[in-house]
């Protein structure tokens, strides 16, 4: 498998950075991750725009233009010949002799095989537990997953699948997913603060507006617990129903009609986008 690192193509197992890199010394780096479908990048422009936002916020100058990055991704696809995959672009803080100062960023672009469902599976869902936390610089897709990983023992002990971040009674996100609820008033609600603005989230909102009232607003934990439906979204999950939170069943405990409809619409969009 080929990897792109600082202008060179190397075998993935031989790709390396010096230990002085700020990603190693201080966890200072950003990344973005997108899928390929039928060998085509999904929502690539959206992901590169978000990568630029993350990098500029952390004062990391990406060493390639958007068009150059697209060309590199195209060559990566040609070299590795994976139809269904995940591609990750990482921009690090660079080699810091004092282990603390940003220098020339390093860039790594990797690809790995993925397995994705061909259609919505009603039997797949997730049980969540809550954890008191808000991510730093939440609109930045950084490599800092300290709390998410730390809380995995709590998730495991509860027999759950992931943790939902809550602060002062209001939810934000999961470590790697956005969250939506269908309220008792049949509105689709999703938090608008302290969240990473997911690319899947963006397209779900656009699709939902064609048949639902949609609001981005503060969402309380009580809103979640009393919702008709709750689901999470991400690049690899698409839409995944939430069956329970902290042991309380959500709705009927099964995927609801809005989740099913949006899942179908999103899958159709995905196919249309990558079959052009």
Are 76 and 138 within one domain?
no
On average, the pLDDT of the chain sits at 97
3 neighbors 108 (Cβ within 8 angstroms): yes
- In this structure, the answer to whether residues 160 and 41 fall within a common structural domain is no
Query: What tens digit of pLDDT does each residue of 176-191 get?
Result: 999 999 999 999 999 9
* Residue 118 located in a structural domain: no
Is residue 257 a part of any domain in this protein?
yes
* Domain extent for 29: 2-113
Domain check: are 149 and 92 in the same one?
no
Are residues 145 and 86 both part of a single domain? Answer: no
Tens of pLDDT, residue by residue over 201-243, are 999 999 999 999 999 999 999 999 999 999 999 999 999 999 9
pLDDT mean over 109-120: 94
Same-domain pairing of 135 and 232:
yes
What number is the average pLDDT over the span 237-255? 97
Q: How many CB atoms lie within 10 A of CB 9?
A: 14
- Same domain for 103 and 150, yes or no, is no
Same domain, 89 and 179: no
Of 60, 90, 113, which marks where a domain is finished? 113
Residues 67 and 157 reside in one and the same domain: no
pTM (two decimals)? 0.96
Mean pLDDT along residues 40-60: 98
- The token duo for 196 is 């990473």
Last residue of a domain, one of 83, 113, 143: 113
Residue 121 — left, alpha, or beta (φ > 0 → left; ψ -120 to 50 → alpha)? Answer: beta
Q: Please compute the mean of the pLDDT values over residues 95-116 and round it to a whole number.
A: 97
How far lies 238's CA from each of 35, 105, 184, 266, in Å? 11, 31, 24, 8
Looking at the fold, whether 44 and 145 belong to one and the same domain comes out as no
Last residue of a domain, one of 90, 113, 136: 113
Residues 99 and 170 in one domain: no
pLDDT in tens, 142-159: 999 999 999 999 999 999
Contact by Cβ (8 Å): 222, 216 = no
CB 208 within 8 A of CB 261: no
Q: Are residues 41 and 144 in the same domain?
A: no
Summarize pLDDT for 9-18 with one digit per residue, the tens: 999 999 999 9
pLDDT at 76 over 90: yes
Please indicate, yes or no, if residue 100 is contained in any of the structural domains. Answer: yes
The answer to whether 274 and 42 have CB atoms below 8 angstroms apart is yes
pLDDT of residue 251: 95
Q: Is it the case that residue 37 has pLDDT exceeding 80?
A: yes
Number of domains in the chain: 2
Q: Give the pLDDT confidence score for residue 275 in this predicted structure.
A: 84
Residues 166 and 98 in one domain: no
How many percent of the chain have pLDDT more than 90? 97
The reported pLDDT for the residue numbered 75 is 98
Please name which of 74, 73, 49 lies closest in space to residue 62, comparing C-alpha atoms. 49
Mean pLDDT throughout 91-119?
Answer: 96
Please report, for the domain that includes residue 153, its CATH number.
Answer: 3.20.10.10
CATH number of the domain enclosing 93: 3.30.470.10
3 state SS for the chain: CEEEECCEEEEHHHCCCCCCEHHHHCCCEEEEEEEEECCEECCHHHHHHHHHHHHHHCCCCCCCCHHHHHHHHHHHHHHHCCCCEEEEEEEECCECCCCCCCCCCCEEEEEEECCCCCCCCCCCCEEEEEEECCCCCCCCCECCCHHHHHCHHHHHHCCCCEEEEEECCEECCECCEEEEEECCCCEEEECCCCCCCCHHHHHHHHHHCCCCEEEECCCEHHHHHCCCEEEEEECCCEEEEEEEECCEECCCCCCCHHHHHHHHHHHHHHHHHHCC
Per-residue pLDDT at 276 exceeds 80: no
Please name the residues in contact with 182: beta carbons below 8 A apart, sequence gap of 6 or more: 188, 189, 227, 228, 229, 230, 256, 258, 259
């Amino acid at each position: 498998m080929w990897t792109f690192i600082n202008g060179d193509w190397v075998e993935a197992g031989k790709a390396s950075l010096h230990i002085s890199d700020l990603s190693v010394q201080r966890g200072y780096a950003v990344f973005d991750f997108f899928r390929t479908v039928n060998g085509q990048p999904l929502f690539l422009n959206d992901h590169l725009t978000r990568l630029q936002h993350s990098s500029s916020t952390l004062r990391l100058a990406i060493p390639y233009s958007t068009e150059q990055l697209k060309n590199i991704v195209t060559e990566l696809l040609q070299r590795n010949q994976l139809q269904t995959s995940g591609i990750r672009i990482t921009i690090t803080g660079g080699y810091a002799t004092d282990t603390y100062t940003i220098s020339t960023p390093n860039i790594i672009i990797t690809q790995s095989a993925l397995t994705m469902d061909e259609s919505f599976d009603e039997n797949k869902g997730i049980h969540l537990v809550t954890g008191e936390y808000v991510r730093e610089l939440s609109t930045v897709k950084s490599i800092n997953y300290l709390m998410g990983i730390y809380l995995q023992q709590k998730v495991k002990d509860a027999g759950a699948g992931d943790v939902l971040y809550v602060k002062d009674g209001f939810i934000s996100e999961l470590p790697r997913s956005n969250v939506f609820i269908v309220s008792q008033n049949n509105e689709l609600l999703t938090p608008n603060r302290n969240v990473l603005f997911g690319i899947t989230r963006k397209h779900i909102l656009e699709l939902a507006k064609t048949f639902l009232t949609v609001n981005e607003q503060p969402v309380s934990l009580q809103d979640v617990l009393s919702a008709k439906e709750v689901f999470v979204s991400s690049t690899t999950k698409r839409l995944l129903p939430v069956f329970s939170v902290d042991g309380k069943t959500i709705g009927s405990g099964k995927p609801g009609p809005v989740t099913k409809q949006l899942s179908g619409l999103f899958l159709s969009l995905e196919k249309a986008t990558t079959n052009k």
